[in-house]
Amino acid sequence: MEEQVVLCGASSYEQKYYFNQKFSALPQSIRQELQIMCVLFTEDVGGVLTMEFDREGNLEFKVAADDGDYLFDEIGSALKIRQFQLEKRELLESLELYYRVFFLGEKL
């Protein structure tokens, strides 16, 4: 089994959004919410954001920035992730449950 499974991500450098088609069964409204979150993050703080599941099914926010990117807001990045974790808690927990049941085969 893979170490990390990327759910979605966005890059301020390429101005692109990525959604893993393995999760295409998710409702359109959830996919749109994920896109909004990722794109807003990269517009606000820069860099690259990916949302990834670890092998236990926990959803993690991964942030990367080019070494020479002086516009990247590292403090803003941590604050924005914390904001998402608080405001989108129910959504994030539901995504973790979905992943654990349908991809890891855990019982409810």
Q: Cβ(18)–Cβ(10) under 8 Å?
A: yes
Per-residue pLDDT of the chain (108 residues; tens, 9 = 90+): 458 999 999 999 999 999 999 999 999 999 999 999 999 999 999 999 999 999 999 999 999 999 999 999 999 999 999 999 999 999 999 999 999 999 999 998
Nearest to 61 by CA among 91, 38, 95, 32: 38
pTM of the full predicted structure? 0.93
| β-sheet bridge partners, residue 71 | none
